[in-house]
Copies of this chain bind each other. A is one copy, B any other.
Amino acid sequence: MEYAPATPERTERLDAARTSGDLRAHNRVQLLRAIHDSGARRTRSQLTHDLDLARGTASVLIGSLAADALIAESPVEDARPVRGRPTLVPGPHPDGPQVLAADLREDAWELAVCSIGGGYEILGGQAHDGTPEEALRPLAAAARAATSGRVVGIGLAVAGPVRDGVVDISHLGWQDVRVPEFFDVSVPLIVGNDARLAGVAEARRGRLQGVAVGLHLHIDFDPGGTLLLDGRPMAGSSGTAGEFGHMPLASRSLDEPCLCGAWGCWSLRVGANALLRHAGLAAGGGRGRALAERILASDGEAVAENARALGEGVAALVNALDPGVVSLSGMGVELLARARDEIEAAYLDGLMAFRRSAPPPIAPSSLGRAGPLIGAMESAFDAFLTPSGLQAWRELRGFGLV
C-alpha cells in the first residue's frame, strides 16, 4: 500500500541543534532561561545540577554569558553556614538586557521595565478615553522614551483579539487597529491578547507552574482564555485561539445573537456584561465595570446564574480539552470566592462521567491584576531568549564597545 508522502517541512525543528556551534548557542539559551525562570534565585551550583552539566561546561557557559553582560554573579543573600567553597548566584547584569511590558486596558494603561529573572518596575501609567489615538499615542511615547540601548523587546497586552498586531475591540469600537504603527521603535513588539498573556503569566509564575496542560480563563466583560501546553500558549493558525467565550457553552437559546456575530455565545452568560444584562441594564461598549462589580458584591441571583454558567462552560471545555488544572483570573477570582459551590455543582454535573472521579481543580489566579503585564514581559523575553536573540545582543554590544 502507498499514499502521498509527508511534506519535508514537517521534519524541520526550530529548536534543534545541528552543529557544534548550535550546541553552544542552545546551551547558553537553556542556562539563561533557567536563570530567568527561577527568578534569578538559584545558585550556579544548583543550576549545574538542574541542567545536568559538567562543572567545566557550566564554567564556560556562565563565563560567556557574563562576558556578554547577559548576567552577573553575586554572593548568596541569606548565606547560611554551608561547608565548601561558596557558590554565587547568577542574576541580571547591571547593563544587561531589559524588556518593556505594557498592559493596555479599556480605560488606562501601565508600563513597566523588566530584567532577566523577572523583576520589574512600573514606569508609569495613564487613564484614557477609549479611542485608539488617546490610548496608544501616550503609551507609545512613554515606551519610546524608555527604550534605551538595553531594551531588547516590548510586550503589550490588549483587551481584544489580536491578529499579527491588528486589534479589534468591539467594546470600544476598535476595528482593525494596527497597533505596531503607533510604535516608533526598532525592537521587536509583541502584541498579545490580555487573557492569553494572563495565562502565560499563570503558567510561568502562577498556579499553572509545572502543569503540562493548563486551561486559563480570564473573565472580564467577556470570558476569554488560552490553553497552555508546557507553558506555551496555543496560538492557533492566525493567532486568535482561545476565544472560548464565543462557543455556545451554556446557551439556552442558539437564536440569541452575540456582538461577535455568532449565536448563543458563552459570553452572554458569563462575565460583567452578563451580570449587567441579567439586571436589565445595557451591556457592551466597555462601560459599567463599577456597576457590574456592585452587582457581583450583592450576591444576588445574577451572580448565581453567572456561576452556574461558568461551571457548565468549564465542564464542556474540560470534557474536550482535558486540562490538568483550570485557573481563573479577572472577575473569575471574586466569582470563585463568592459562589464556589454553585460553580462546582454545575461543573461536576457537566463533566463526562469518567472524568468525575478526578476532576481537574478550578483555582484562582495567584497574580492578581498583574497577570497580563507579567505575561507581556514573559512573551517579550521568550522572543529574546533564543539563539538568534542572544546572537543579536552580542553583535550589538560588539559595535557599542568598539
Binding site for B on A (CB under 8 A): 1-11, 13, 15-20, 23, 26-27, 30, 33-34, 37-39, 41-42, 50-53, 118-122, 161, 163, 168, 204-206, 209-213, 229-231, 234-244, 246-252, 254, 260-263, 312, 315-317, 319-324, 349-356, 360, 366-367, 370, 374
Contacts and interface: CB of A to CB of B under 8 A. Distances in A.
A29 to B, nearest CB: 10
A30 B4 contact: no
B210 A9 contact: yes
Contacts of A351: 261-262
The dominant DSSP class at the A interface is loop
A248 B248 contact: yes
8 contacts: A2-B118, A5-B42, A16-B17, A237-B322, A241-B320, A246-B320, A248-B249, A261-B354
Given A320-B247, A322-B241, A350 B263 contact: yes
Given A33-B11, A254-B312, A262 B1 contact: no
A230 B4 contact: no
* Complex A-B, nearest 10 residue pairs according to Cβ-Cβ distance, in ascending order: A236-B322, A261-B353, A5-B39, A237-B324, A6-B37, A241-B322, A247-B316, A7-B210, A213-B237, A5-B38
B261 A209 contact: no
A50 B237 CA distance: 24
Nearest to A378: B6
A27 to B, nearest CB: 7
B23 A11 contact: no
A350 B213 contact: no
Contacts of A122: 1
A246 B249 CA distance: 11
A355 B380 CA distance: 27
Q: Which residue, A42, A50, A316, has most C-beta atoms of chain B within 10 A? A: A316
Nearest to A354: B168
Given A2-B39, A37-B6, A322-B236, A254 B250 contact: yes
A319 B262 contact: yes
Contacts of A317: 247
Contact of A20 (B20, B38, B52, B121): B20
Contacts of A119: 1-2
Nearest to A260: B352
Q: Which residue, A11, A210, A235, has most C-beta atoms of chain B within 10 A? A: A11
A247 to B, nearest CB: 4
A352 B26 contact: no
